A and B are shown apart, each in its own frame.
Chain A
Amino acid sequence: MAWLGEAVIICPVALLCVLGIPSLLSRRLAETTINRFLQSAMVIGLAASTLMLCMMLPMKNPHVAVELGNWVSIPGYEFHIKLIFDRLSVPFVMLSYILCGTIFAFASRYMHREPGYNRFFTLNAVFLLGMVTTSLAGTIETLFAGWELVGLSSALLVAFFHERPAPVRNGLRVWCVYRVSDAALLIAALTLHHFGHSDFEKVLGIESWPGGRATVSEYEALVVGLLLLLAAAGKSALIPFSGWLPRAMEGPTPSSAVFYGALSVHLGAFLLLRVSPMLEKSLTLRIVIVCLGLLTAIYATIVGRAQTDIKSAICFASLTQVAIIVAEIGFGLRFLPLVHILGNGCLRTLQFVRAPTLLQDYRQLENAIGDRLPRLSGFWDSILPHGVRVWMYRFAIERGYLDVVIDNYIVDPFVAVFRWCDGMERRWTDYLSGGKSRESDQVTGSPGSLEEFL
């Protein structure tokens, strides 16, 4: 079975190589060639993961560990690469292959003759590799590697239409949040190391998911769990990081569908599911997870109702479900959140790719009836006072002021402190030089600032 497991991971690696290396060598691949590579990789990868599933079905304890050996081994340190195929990873990998394959087929027409066709699919190959690596990771370092690949491809795809400033600014915003998430995950990994663990099997027990018994203490579970929750919150756009999700809609619709409707946005929930035996060790941690999930669900459902574009409305609908999935995990459920992820992922992908034609259909309907489509008043309209409704509308249209709060209380003070330091350095070098010391002051561009950029 090891060769099947290896085939699952080799497909995205090979795809990335055949798409990425020609870009580095300034060789442009034809669209048909790219499509052929995409189809082959998707079919082989999906077939391998399906075969793996079929071979695991008769097993009493469906848990297959594929050892890829030590990547680095020196006395006192080993970077072990191990893939785990179990009830959690196989459905997630298959979902990744199915949705990426569908979206690649859709995008091959949607992006036809678009400048950056090759770049789009290369970044998607990075994303697929990241997803498969994260899903199958048997150690926290391997998971971190996949996690970072997903983050990078997301940020660069949000900024795909890079001639306009808005996608680029939003791409940077997404990257900033992802870096916070990455840092939290890395610190969690280090903390686990500090407590003497790194292999999931050692931390979560060798039983097949979700039957593992964590070997960490309650205190260790709380510390590591909170860090992992922070990482998951960044990746799954939970409060207070929800502001990046509508911004990420600046990317091409196919990538929005597969990233923020289906796969990437569920990665935080996947992480929590993966470490779920550890969550059971700490009641405090589970309460925090439930609260964060419910708060985000309420936030997302309120904000989603006031969105003025269809992609943002869908992404907040998706976020509502992701937040409910997180709450379900906090409540101690395991298979329900997994099924919920699979269902929500498929539904939102469909909604995203249907969105452009749906608007066209609405227009045709309105033309046919000669009037606007009727807008039904909701339940809350009838029971909430006017003032509360206005306040909620403003709250929703400003997306809960989350970005403003982060800008005012984190970004602005941070920038102000370092600008002050920069000013002091200038005074010091001016003093030592006996005059103006900075040539770079004469290097001017159009007015702009980091705050505006962010």
Chain B
Amino acid sequence: MKDFHLPWLELAILFCLVGGAWVGRLRNPHIARNWALLFSGLALIATTGAWLDFDYLDAKQADDTFHLLSHLTGRELLVMDELSAPLLPLAALLFFLVPLATLQTKVRRFSFAWNLVSEALVLALFSCLEQWGIITLLAVGTIPPYLELRERGKPTHVYIIHMALFILLLVVGWTFAEIEGGGGRVHSLWVIIPLLGAILVRSGIAPFHCWMTDLFEHASFGTALLFVMPISGAYAAVRLVMPIAPDWVLSSIGLASLFTAVYASGMALVQTEARRFFCYLFLSHSALVLVGLEVGPVNPLALTGALCVWLSVGMALGGFGLTLRALEARRGRLSLTHFHGLYEHTPELAICFILTGLASVGFPGTVGFVGTELLIDGAVEAYPYIGVAVVIAGALNGVALIKTYFILFTGTRYTSAVSLRIRSRERFAVLLLASLILIGGIYPQPGVHSRNEAAKALLKTREALAPSPTLPTPHHVEEHHAPEHGS
């Protein structure tokens, strides 16, 4: 492991925590937003610096210089590796853009202080390789949305039940794993089943997805967006389940995710409200990431594709969500049963809507294209039916996307007493994301190469698996499932 030239990760998290404490004391929401932007901007600079430094060091893993946190806790808590290197700046970018694109009229409804705290938790999560650290951060990360729901007087039952189940399963699963001797080996069903359940719940895999639609119904759009967009469930799957799970567990997650990808794409088509539509679109894509992660051990190309899609979904659907949020800020909750006629008011948002949406479904020339190609290609090599299902999900998502575009932006021009044109901060956010999506689409090689290295590193963690004496070995499981693999 190499050391960074600066304590980038500690700085990024420190900026967010200090910012959260400072902004929470401010009463004026406009001033609070400016400070929040400053702190999240600093965190973005720090995480980007960490990524560039990591690239410069050409290391497999790197941690902060001076080792301040290590001296305090006695172990290396914050580490950047191939997987987390681009995820950190991506998460920081999303946490920076959401407050940036919040309109003046909505600043009172969005908690900038909690946004910074959530950012600190997400950045710490993506920098953490310690299993209990990941579990703690995932558990604590569920609190800010709950507090917001409670503060707004919204129903919390669905969210609480699912998150409590998630945390319980995670803790139970890893406790048994510790009892059985920790990672690096195949564990018993007492470990695997709870962890599998936890991943399914947190990732919103059907039938455990209702908490996500419920969160989008009741929380502010920004909070819901930032809670789901980093795809923390996939991160938990990679760090906690992938290194210890036998192949049949990964296949089970893959199959459930595949069903969710198709199911959610179909559900996106029949939604009559924009937030629910977005939620299902996101569910479909995040499930595709999990499909690739689980096919990965059979075909590394699919794993590389899934990691690429993870990034492209973050950028594309992040931008897509911001566009929908900007429209909602102008027109209130958006019904999808009648035309809104918004094109003439905000042509830039229309372009961004279609660009980010198309990027999410892997349209040529956008950041999602190569990732989706790799994912499908790898999946087909492993199991042909998966490739076909992924293509169907993509086709349905594409139809849902253009249908929603037409509903929101076409029709008789909406007459408004006030100007609905795009504001300069929104324009900056939109242009930044559009540039990233197009540049990533036109010049994908560095991104794909980096994800391929991350995929190799992940697969190495599975190579180290030691067979358990009480369970069928991975080899036996493979033999047992051989006819399915070949089908």
Which residues in A have some Cβ–Cβ distance to B below 8 Å?
Answer: 23-26, 71-77, 79, 115, 141, 144-146, 148-149, 152, 155, 159, 162-163, 165, 168, 171-172, 175-176, 179-180, 182-183, 186-187, 190-191, 193-194, 414-415, 417-419, 421-422, 425, 428-429, 432-435, 437-440, 443-450, 453
Contact = CB atoms under 8 A, between A and B. Distances in A.
Nearest to B371: A72
Interface string B373-398: 11011001100100110011011001
Interface stretch (B18-26, B63-71, B171-179, B268-276): B268-276
A172 B409 CA distance: 13
Contacts of B275: 440
A147 to B, nearest CB: 9
Given A180-B395, A190-B387, A74 B210 contact: no
A439 B218 contact: yes
B270 A419 contact: yes
Interface residues of B, number: 75
Main secondary structure, interface of B, reads: helix
Contact of B273 (A72, A141, A432, A440): A440
A23 B343 contact: no
Nearest to B452: A74
Contact of B358 (A23, A152, A432): A152
A64 B214 CA distance: 58
Given A421-B263, A443-B335, 17 more contacts: A25-B431, A77-B301, A77-B374, A152-B363, A162-B409, A171-B402, A172-B402, A176-B399, A433-B157, A433-B214, A434-B155, A440-B275, A443-B272, A445-B337, A446-B338, A447-B337, A450-B403
B366 to A, nearest CB: 11
6 closest pairs, A vs B, by CB?
A445-B335, A145-B364, A162-B410, A445-B338, A440-B273, A445-B337
B431 to A, nearest CB: 7
A407 to B, nearest CB: 14
B354 to A, nearest CB: 8
B334 interface: yes
A193 B266 CA distance: 27
A155 B338 CA distance: 19
A210 to B, nearest CB: 27
Contact of B402 (A71, A155, A415, A448): A155
Given A77-B377, A194-B380, A439-B217, A183 B403 contact: no
Contacts of B474: none
A295 to B, nearest CB: 25
A453 B403 contact: yes
B267 A23 contact: no
Contacts of B365: 145, 149
- With a 10 A CB-CB cut-off, give which of A75, A141, A149, A429 has the most chain B CB atoms: A429
Given A73-B445, A421-B263, A445-B337, A187 B388 contact: yes
A193 B382 CA distance: 12
A419 B337 CA distance: 14
B410 A168 contact: yes
Contact of B376 (A168, A190, A445, A450): A190
Nearest to A447: B337
Contact of B406 (A171, A186, A191): A171
